[in-house]
Structure 1
Amino acid sequence: MKRVLTKSDKIAVPVIVALSVAVPIIVLILMYLPERYNVFGAQTGTFPFFHAVINGSTAILLMLGYFFMKIKEYKLHRNVMITAFCMSVVFLLSYVISKISNDPVPFGGEGAMRYIYFFILITHIVLSAIIVPLVLFTMYRGLTGEYNKHAAIARWTFPIWLYVAVTGVLVYIFMWPYY
């Protein structure tokens, strides 16, 4: 398979590092905004449902991409993974808009469910910050034709990205009664 991008680590690596630092910081800042600005006039539950659909779709695409890689259908693998990446970008943009638009909704569950929810939520949040540079480097190495480096980092990226996508859906399911 031929390269899609030309290799330029002098530009790409600093951009990837900058985005990897900026994205979690921006999301953290937005979560603590003193005032919300409902950009689209959406109801509280609209964004979370959309995010769950995007996360679920991303999880399916990731598993399809893994399948295509295993059966050596590399063009299909590339196309599906680029689509998963695009879905994640749409998710991130929508998530930022939702944080600007709506106050956080507290989890109202009790007992063991509360502990399960917060374990899933905390691991989801931590790994969603970690996945940013992993996905960006994995995409970059694949698109520049550095397949050995791509495969080496993808071994870590795939399970973490899949976990983040699946737990994103689980967080929505846990929170659904409170929206």
Structure 2
Amino acid sequence: MTINDIPALNATLNGLATILISIGFIFIKRGKILAHRRTMISACVVSAIFLVGYLTHKFLKGMAAGAGEAVHTKFGGTGAIALVYYVMLISHIILAIAIAYLVPRTFFFAIKGDIVSHKRWAKFTFPIWYYVSVTGVLVYFFLYVWWPSQPVA
């Protein structure tokens, strides 16, 4: 595995988190609390592994680039698609920052047994977490598959 493989791994983890979040939602709607709990814990673990991979990728890119160099991946699209990409990216980043607080807080209420608060927080956390995981996969495809800034070797 090289530094260039990490974004695809991260996108896979985001996709898996999306699937797990979806399944967890279905379980709770069907009243299967234990299955919901296990699935959501799995989604949280997968998301945490993603975060480690994301930060590792940024760190390694920074090390490879040297001091003072930009470590972001440039988007190769232009025109209207660039606007779509950057709006999605900005909303993704802002909401990902929020998720770093919302998910642990929502889990805290569940672990504490405060189901009323857990449900109240989950109504906000679920759609944001879902959006962040889906757009995380889309950001990968926009950057590395559909409109890479450099030709794929």
**Higher RCO (C-alpha under 8 Å, 6+ residues apart):** 1
Cα deviations by residue, 1:51-109 (Å, 9 ceiling, x for unpaired): 11000000010010000000000000000000000001101111111000113221011
1:173 to 121, 141, 144: 141
* Aligned length in residues: 138
Cα deviations by residue, 1:2-52 (Å, 9 ceiling, x for unpaired): xxxxxxxxxxxxxxxxxxxxxxxxxxxxxxxxxxxxxxx7243x1110111
| Aligned CA-pair RMSD | 1.2
Corresponding residue for residue 13 of structure 1: none
Cα deviations by residue, 1:117-172 (Å, 9 ceiling, x for unpaired): 10111100000001111100111111121100100000000000000000000001
Unaligned ranges ≥5, structure 1: 1-40
Runs of 4+ in 1 over 4 A off after TM superposition: none
**Rounded Cα–Cα distance in structure 2 between residues aligned with 1:71 and 1:62:** 14
Corresponding residue for residue 110 of structure 2: 142
**Rounded Cα–Cα distance in structure 1 between residues aligned with 2:10 and 2:88:** 16
TM-score when normalising by structure 1: 0.74
Which one-letter code corresponds to 1:69 in the other structure?
A: I
Unaligned ranges ≥5, structure 2: 62-70
TM-score when normalising by structure 2: 0.87
Identity of aligned residues (%): 38
The reply to whether residue 97 of structure 1 matches residue 65 of structure 2 is: no
